[in-house]
Structure 1
Amino acid sequence: MSDQTPEPAPANPTAAHGSDREPRADARRNRERILRTAQRLFATEGLGVPLDEIARRAGVGPGTVHRHFPAKEALYLAVATDQIRRLVTRAEALAATGDPAALFTLLSEMMATGAENVAVKSALVAAEFDLRTAAPDVAADLTGHVADLLDRAHAAGAARPDLTVDEVMALVAGAFAAIRHAGAETSPERSAHLARLILDGLRPRPR
């Protein structure tokens, strides 16, 4: 017979495990709510919105925001990275359609997303944050999807044959600068017009 006294079992093992999981689920929901709110406020009110105001609009406590994002730069980076992840998901859906013009749909949406948060991207540049360094897997994933859609557009004759994926990505980045230079960040119509001008240059020239 053992002299060891067995350790008492938890009074409610299921509840104990559940309490471990629930805070994580709550934390994910809170983080998502903060990101959506910050993205909207940065786009409509600029980067000067205090973290405490973002917390109030998101319906969470200031401590929750500061726990997830201890500095404003961390929130800028998270907003931009989240946007890229959403574009990756959109690219996957477009690829599944088999539409040879899907490249232009995706690029148009990329430019619209960038126009809404061009200030966030400028803040990252000013803080010397490069998404390709800070979130290399996500950035590479998006570039890979753009390359696949470009290959499909090339095969269908929908994109000019001398166009490379590096040039496409450079032009998208240039579109953000053009939109900012034109002061069109808050005008979806003007930013969409600039995007169309750029995208027209990617199509084959008429013979």
Structure 2
Amino acid sequence: MPAEPPVDPMTDRELRADARRNREQVLATAQRLFAAQGLGIPLDEIARRAGVGPGTVHRHFPTKQALYLAVAIDQIRRLVDEGEALAATDDPAALFTLLSRMMASGAENAAVKSALTAAEFDLRDAAPDAAAGLTHQVARLLDRARQAGVVRDDVTVDEVMAIVAGAFAAIRHAGADTSPERSAHLARIILDGLRPPSRR
């Protein structure tokens, strides 16, 4: 009687789920470490902090730039989801909530800031779907805010995105990079410029 083949302890689906969990753990760890320590941290240290082997990190992200880009795209997609949720509300000023969150994310995370300012890479080239999704959500909320009269009527979505990118330079110039309170204060001042004169 032929011997039975060995039983694989994990199905392909379980393996895929395990790999997905590892990838998400590496992304979350890298996001925290890039935000706290910048790009200087080695991939092997990210692996150690994530509780996975170096090979796991290198398998998903062959270079630090690849991991940096993945962190940025992941965070941008989270902002897209926030925009989607805000669009489902009836808040006419939801635009300011999303823009504040974008500025806070960029102030907290160098990868997000690079994506929004096209500093290290141009998100429109690296992840066109994520870039278009975020611009789309901002445009939707801008249209609603304009109709409600809570934003000046002569501003375009491209100008709004440029204002967000410029805000990071203002935050850095003021030395507020490491202070969430000061960076949020500067963001509010900058965003007030989008309001109609009667609402400032």
TM-score by length of structure 2 reads: 0.90
Corresponding residue of 1:105: 97
2:141 matches 1:171: no
**Whole-Å separation in 2 of the counterparts to 1:126 and 1:108:** 20
Distance 2:119 2:168 in 1: 15
Distance across 2 between alignment mates of 1:11 and 1:119:
48
Q: Which protein is bigger by CA-based radius of gyration? A: 1
1:190: how far off? 1.2
Secondary structure of 1:47's aligned partner: helix
Give the aligned length: 196
Instruction: Indicate whether 1:116 and 2:128 are aligned.
Output: no
Report if the CA contact (8 A) 2:71-2:111 is conserved. no
The aligned counterpart of 1:32 is 24
CA distance in 2, matches of 1:96, 1:115: 26
Is 1:86 the equivalent of 2:78? yes
Alignment match, 1:5: none
C-alpha RMSD over aligned residues: 2.3
* 1:60 and 2:62 matched: no
Matched, 1:158 2:150: yes
Distance in 2 of aligned mates of 1:136 and 1:122: 15
Superposed CA offset, 1:125-152 (max 9, x none) = 565x211100001100110110010000
CA distance in 1, matches of 2:84, 2:119: 31
Task: Provide the TM-score with structure 1 as the length reference.
Answer: 0.87
Between the aligned residues of both structures, percent identity stands at 77
**Which whole-Å CA distance do the structure 2 matches of 1:114 and 1:126 have between them?**
12
- Superposed CA deviations along residues 79-133 of structure 1, whole A, max 9, x for unmatched, are 1101110001111111111100100000000000000113664499565x21110
Distance 1:121 1:61 in 2: 29
Kept in 2, the 8 Å contact 1:37–1:57? The answer is yes
Extract unaligned runs of 5+ from structure 2: none
